Amino acid sequence: MKQLRSIVLSIVMLTIAGIVAIPFYYIVVNTLKTQPEISASPLGLPSGLDFSNYSEVFATLPIWQSFLNTLYVGVVSITLMLLIGSMAAYGMLIGQGLLTRLIGVMCLIAFLVPGQTTLIPLYRMLSGMYLVDTLEGLVVLYMAGSIFCYFLIIGYMRTLPIELFESARIDGAGAFRIYWSIVLPLIRPILVTVGVFQAMWVWNDFITPNVFINSPDKQTLVLQVYSAVGQFSTDWPAFMTLSVIVLAPLVVFFIAAQRHIVSGLVTGSVKG
Amino acid sequence: MGTVLAPPRSKPPLQRAPRLTRLQRLRRRGIESYLFTLPVVIVFVVLFAIPLAQSFYYSLTDFNGYSTDADFVGLANYTTIWQDSSMLSALGFTLVFTVGTTAAITALAIPLALVLNRKFFGRNLVRSVFFFPSVVSVAILGLVWGFIFAPLGTGVINSIIGWFGAEPIAWLAEPTLAKLSVIIVAVWGGTGWHAVLYLAYLQAIPSEFYEAAGIDGATRWQQFRYLTLPLLIPAMTVSQLLLLTGGLKVYDLPYTLTGGGPGFATRTLTQSIIENGIAQGEVGKASALSVVFFVAVGLIIVAQLALARRLESRFS
């Protein structure tokens, strides 16, 4: 009886999951078809394995350029925000007094301010610094994410015994030495979790590049897909192919990092 | 959220380092700790404090983005935003979207989490399939769904409807349907994420609780009502807070799926702020809207936390 119930549950849930996955099946299967084939039957299987859409998309669009742009922005901004966030968390942990408490309140305010409220002044500020339409400008904006890093990292640090940090001090190590050779290795698990989480944000972000980037050679991948839709409005297979090319690395990332994504989701939502 | 809002825990006094008086040590530690927090202070000042102050300031002026002499207009911008039909419809749709997605995702994610908490063949696959949409870019998903909803040959939904002999439906061209379509896609993309969140809380409930309840003769429904549900209230607080604030901030999905149309039907507040403030140079008006937005998000967070506290005390 119990086994039967489990089988029924399996069948029902796998069917529902199949329906939920249709959009992904749809874009993948249509990259192997020609336009008339799609029109005839959008969900049907292709008549053969034809990868010409892929070579066509790679030939017409600077995908590698956008990929490198996204990678550059991602790596630089994630490194910096983890550094800023973890330094702040360590400073708050060893710090005392009114000023330290003030900085804590500051971070809380920053956490509550929606990006929409600061968008217009930030646009004007970046354009005054000639950083609009540059990848460095995006990095500057993504530094706002160090606040989220700070909250997650300090939450994790508080679970560690303070003696770990203090014993090195008694041995005569300076604060920066302690931070670099003791604190950072100790908090590696949370750095990975936060890093994975923030990488997803930067990689998938659309609003920031859409507002701040105009030149085609500075586009991130997501922005490139968006602008290609206009270009490909009549060439559906090319659009589907581009989407698959951009989504494919995320499938690999998802399989490799699912555990970290889930733990980031849970700690992130509890702490933040 | 709750843990963040609590005041920072004060540390117990630390062990004394040799040859330094307590005062000297504190002073040294103070200076060092400020050096460590300096970068985050710079981030706060440059990316939050100054822009926030400027938004407040612009909202009180008729600044157009170019003129050097912006005049102080008091609260005029705050009254004109309530007369601008595009901004009002953006406000309306943003609220409909927020309430719609919060209600629908909560109603679907809890049962999904309860099912995923049971053992069955293919459970990990099912969980991954539901979860995957929230790992990829919402903007790309919006574009893909644009093709799926299309009345053209790519439109999967219309061709399925066609098998049953029905006429194709112009999903994205009719205001109410377009709103519904955006919400459907958001629910499709967000349910898995929130189900995994609920699942994490469900898995934290010790199985002994259920065993004890079973021995006491509690029915399945009683177990859910008096055991699972109260323990899920904190998860609901977190999930709904994320859904409400995320809903108010929504931009990517409607923008890529419908472009905010037809007309202003699926325009969002964020799109309104960007278009008025950056493209059209109505900085004063857009800033007023962004300040109202900030206040609204803040109020929702406070209200949700207060409500959660009352619910928690009622159920437990």
DSSP string, chain A: -HHHHHHHHHHHHHHHHHHHTHHHHHHHHHTTS-HHHHHH-TTSPPSS---HHHHHHHHHS-HHHHHHHHHHHHHHHHHHHHHHHHHHHHHHHH--SHHHHHHHHHHHHHHHS-HHHHHHHHHHHHHHTT-TTSHHHHHHHHGGGHHHHHHHHHHHHTTS-THHHHHHHHTT--HHHHIIIIIHHHTHHHHHHHHHHHHHHHHH--HHHHHH---GGG--HHHHHHHHHHHTTT-HHHHHHHHHHHHHHHHHHHHHHHHHHHHHHHHHHHH-
Last residue of some domain: A55, A77, A92? Answer: A55
Total residues found in chain A within this entry: 272
Q: Indicate if A68 and A51 belong to the same structural domain.
A: no
User: A129 and A33 share a domain?
Assistant: no
Of the candidates B51, B97, B59, B296, which has an alpha carbon nearest to the alpha carbon of residue B189?
A: B97
**B137 with A119: Cβ contact below 8 A:** no
Structure tokens at A98: 């009114």
Do A124 and A66 lie in one domain? The reply is yes
Residues A112, A205 within the same domain: yes
% pLDDT > 70, chain B: 88
* pLDDT band for position A32 (cuts 50, 70, 90): confident
What burial letters (b/e) apply to A74-100, b meaning 16+ CB within 10 Å? Answer: bebbbebbbebbbbbbbbbbbbbeeeb
Q: How far apart are CA A43 and CA B162, in angstroms?
A: 13
> What pLDDT does residue A107 have?
87
- Angle, vertex CA B211, rays to CA B209 and CA B217, nearest 5: 105
Helices first, then strands: H and E counts in chain B: 15, 0
The pLDDT assigned to B24 comes to 54
Nearest CB neighbour to B144, from listed A91, A118, A243: A243
Question: How many domains is chain A built from?
Answer: 2
Domain at A108, CATH number: 1.10.3720.10
Domains in chain B, CATH or no CATH each = 86-315 (1.10.3720.10)
Do A49 and A74 sit in the same domain of this protein? no
Query: Which is higher by pLDDT, B199 or B23?
Result: B199
- pLDDT above 80 for B68: no
ipTM of the prediction: 0.84
Distance CA B14, CA A167 (A): 11
Residue A7 domain boundaries = 2-55
CB-CB neighbours of A269 under 10 Å: 20
Residues in A 51-70 with any Cβ partner in B closer than 8 A: none
Q: Do A71 and A51 share a structural domain?
A: no
> Do A43 and A83 share a domain, yes or no?
no
> What crossing angle do the helices spanning A146-157 and A63-94 adopt, rounded to 10°?
50
Mean pLDDT value across residues B133-154: 83
Residues A114 and A211 in one domain: yes
**Cα→Cα distances A58→A62, A245, B57, B243, Å:** 7, 9, 47, 38
Residue range B246-287, pLDDT digits in tens: 898 889 899 988 887 787 888 888 888 888 888 777 888 889
Pair (A110, A151) in one structural domain: yes
The confidence score (pLDDT) of residue B85 equals 82
The phi-psi region of residue A208 (left if phi > 0; otherwise alpha if psi is between -120 and 50; otherwise beta) is alpha
Same-domain pairing of A85 and A15: no
Q: pLDDT value at position B6? A: 39
Q: Name every chain B residue with its beta carbon within 8 A of the beta carbon of A125.
A: 46, 50-51
Residue B11's pLDDT is what?
A: 45
Structure tokens at A183: 């604190």
CB contacts of A229 in chain B (<8 Å) are: 143, 146
* Helical spans, DSSP H, in B12-122: 22-43, 50-59, 76-80, 85-116
Q: Could A125 and B291 be called an inter-chain contact, meaning their C-beta atoms sit closer than 8 Å?
A: no
Q: Are residues A84 and A34 in the same domain?
A: no
Distance CA A17, CA B137 (A): 20
Among A96, A26, A48, A129, CA closest to B37: A96
Q: Which of A95-99, A180-184, B8-12 has the highest mean pLDDT?
A: A180-184
pLDDT of residue A270: 56
Write the residue in B139, B273, B291 that is nearest to A222 by C-beta.
B139
B44 contacts A110? CB cut-off 8 A: yes
Q: Are residues A106 and A223 in the same domain?
A: yes
Q: Is the pLDDT of residue B26 over 60?
A: no
| pLDDT at residue A81 greater than cutoff 90 | yes
Q: Which of B152, B138, B158 is nearest to A243 (CA)?
A: B138
Within 8 A of B137 by CB-CB distance, chain A residues are 203-204, 206, 222, 225, 246, 250
pLDDT for residue A42: 72
